[in-house]
Amino acid sequence: MAQPPMLPRRVAIFDLDGTLTWRDTFSAFLLGHLRRHPIRWLRSWRVPAVLLRFVLGGRDRGLLKQAVIQIFMRGDSRGELDSWARKFAARVVARGCRPAALAQLEGHRRDGDYLVLMSASPSLYVPRIGELLRVARVICTEVAYDDDVLNGTLVSANRRGEEKVRCLALLRAEIPGAVFAAYGNSASDLPHLAAADEGLLVNAGAGARRQAQRLGIGTADWI
């Protein structure tokens, strides 16, 4: 009888935007797509109404993300979007990541830890970044296609805040007994950093650092 695969002793979960990278990736991916299709800027007239709904409707970041994707990218083919995603991911990993963050990730890899990239950014490109970083698992906000045409509807929860806590709990159930380390950069990451065995808030503002201190979460600057 075949032996079951050995479970890892440690799991390291990395946030993407502002943690591994210098800046937000979703806006950069979108702007790069618009440079390839400048006529899409004509759709911008719909953005103010979307922002108003965001402000008045509970500030749901998932619905905002969905609306922006549908305004500017809905109807695009999977092949075209993936072609841009591959190029974009290569740029992000080559020039857009913090050296100290990559060093931390590589340290976990050398130790044989199970690497997870967990991001609220969309599945349009995050899995391609995960491939280049050679992580074992990518958890991100999933976006729907109709066959091979982008619909743009979110088909998962927005992987942010308490949703990251839920995802961490699922990983704990899947990998029992492992020690979980987690890295994030914003106040919205504090819930899952607190739920990890070893949480570290990096590159954060003063307010988030104060919250982290109250929660007993360490802080650091990665450059």
The mean pLDDT of the chain is 95
For residue 2, the model assigns a pLDDT of 42
For residue 5, the model assigns a pLDDT of 60
pTM over 0.75: yes
Instruction: Tell me how many degrees the CA angle 74-47-15 measures, rounded to the nearest 5.
Output: 70
For residue 3, the model assigns a pLDDT of 43
Q: Which residues of 156-181 are buried (b: 16+ CB within 10 A; e: fewer)?
A: bbbbbbebbeebbeebbeebeebebb
pLDDT tens track for 88-110: 999 999 999 999 999 999 999 99
Chain center to CA of 134:
15
d(CA 81, CA 83): 5
10-14 vs 179-184, strand pairing mode: parallel
pLDDT tens track for 108-138: 999 999 999 999 999 999 999 999 999 999 9
Across the strands, what pairs with 181?
Answer: 12, 198
| Fold of the 10-220 domain | Rossmann fold (3.40.50)
pLDDT tens track for 35-78: 999 999 999 999 999 999 899 988 989 999 999 999 999 999 99
Q: Where are the domains of the chain?
A: 10-220
Question: Which one-letter amino acid corresponds to residue 220?
Answer: A
In this prediction, residues 12-21 reach a mean pLDDT of 98
- The long-range contacts involving 36-41, CB below 8 angstroms and separated by at least 24 positions, are 36/84, 40/72
